[in-house]
Structure formats: structure tokens, C-alpha cells
Amino acid sequence: MKSARTETFRFLLSLAKRHPGGFSDGGIVDGRVNDFWSLYNQIVAFNCEDELSTNLLEVIDVLLKGQLNSISHKSAAVSNKYHGKRETPEPSLLIIEALDNDSVALADGDKDKIKKMLIVGLDEYKKLYELREKYQNQM
């Protein structure tokens, strides 16, 4: 029974990397992140983390890059430095770069509102980054 459950989670993790069909809503949080957290909570609840650590790392890497891309839509500095690259910077560095006044000034709209949005996106990025660190340290 546990084997079947683990394989089901493995399959669902592979689906978690895919972008949903249609147009992106352009939000500051990658559209796949919330579903990933729901799936991850189930994986933890059923004690399947160890068997799925490699799969989790793969999905987290994809989501980190997606989240970085979402942040780059509201921060010119992040877009200029990381767009199209494989690098996933440490959250503390990314926060400094994303919230730089000159970078936010280039975005259209209320600058305070944009910064608040960026903070939400950066928080999700940080949670994913820390989860990746957890699994990398276990290997």
C-alpha cells in the first residue's frame, strides 16, 4: 500500500512541474507553488519524504526558477540579472536586488504596492529555497 501511495505521489510531483494551460495571470507567485505546498503537506503527512527526496528536489528547482521569473516581472534588477539563467540566488541577496528603489521605479504602478507584492513573492521563493537546502543537506 505504501509503495502505491509513494508512486502516486511521484506521479503527482512530475505533474507539479508543468504549467497549467492557458494564459498566466501574471501574479507575483508562480501558479504552481500553492498546489505544490498542498501536495508537499500530504507527502509529509504520509511520511513519504525520504523515498521522494530526489523527486522533491527536481520539482523545487523548477518552482524556484518559476518563482524567480515571477519576481522578475516586477523588478528590473532581478530581470536583468537572472532572466534566462539557471542561477537561483540566496534569498537575502535576492531581497536586496528585488526591492532596490531604482529597480522598482521602472515598474508600472504604485511603488509601495509593487514592493508589497514583491515581498509576498520573495517570501515564497525563500520557503522553496530553504526546503531545497533541507533536502540537499540530507543527501
Q: What is the pTM of this model?
A: 0.92
CA-wise closest residue to 127 among 36, 43, 58, 15: 36
Domain count, the chain: 1
Q: pLDDT 10s per residue in the chain (139 long)?
A: 889 999 999 999 999 999 875 455 568 999 999 999 999 999 999 999 999 999 999 999 999 999 999 999 999 999 999 988 889 999 999 999 999 988 887 777 888 999 999 999 999 999 999 999 999 998 7
Q: Give CA–CA dist 3/46, Å, rounded.
A: 11
Distance from the Cα of residue 71 to its chain's centroid:
10
Range(s) of the domain holding residue 112? 1-19+26-137
Q: Tell me, what's the pLDDT at 25?
A: 58
